[in-house]
Amino acid sequence: AQSVTQLDSQVPVFEEAPVELRCNYSSSVSVYLFWYVQYPNQGLQLLLKYLSGSTLVKGINGFEAEFNKSQTSFHLRKPSVHISDTAEYFCAQTSGSRLTFGEGTQLTVNP
């Protein structure tokens, strides 16, 4: 079965600092990978996705992620975070007709 591992359950950072949220996925013949953000009491919003092609994927709100096949990783990065980036972030992988999610990483940006 597919599994997605988010290596950090909580990541506190200061405003304007860089951040990396780590994600490892299950190796598969074809891999589609995603990062979603969830603000309190809201649904999931797609940040970015990797389907094929360039291993560096740029998303919304200044986030980017790098697909690394040899390390089966898909880490999310932002060079300078804002208070408004405080939210839960989920890494996900397609598995047939479904998305398999990681447990989530709570990013807290402090002033």
Partner 1 sequence: GAGVSQSPRYKVAKRGQDVALRCDPISGHVSLFWYQQALGQGPEFLTYFQNEAQLDKSGLPSDRFFAERPEGSVSTLKIQRTQQEDSAVYLCASSLDLGGGGYTFGSGTRLTVV
Q: Closer to partner 1 by CB, 30 or 111: give it.
A: 30
Cβ proximity of 33 and 67 under 8 Å: yes
Q: How far apart are CA 26 and CA 32, in angstroms?
A: 11
Q: Does 54 bind partner 1 (CB under 8 A)?
A: no
Per CB under 8 A, which of residues 8..27 are in contact with partner 1?
A: none
Q: Does 49 bind partner 1 (CB under 8 A)?
A: yes
Q: Closer to partner 1 by CB, 19 or 102: give it.
A: 102
Residues 6 or more apart from 52 whose CB is under 8 A from it? none
C-alpha separations of 3 from 10, 93, 95, 103, 106 in Å: 19, 8, 9, 10, 19
Q: Does 98 bind partner 1 (CB under 8 A)?
A: yes
Q: Does 45 bind partner 1 (CB under 8 A)?
A: yes
Among 56, 103, 108, 110, binds partner 1 (CB under 8 A): 103
Site residues, partner 1 (CB under 8 A): 4, 32, 34, 36, 41-46, 49, 51, 90, 92, 94, 96-104
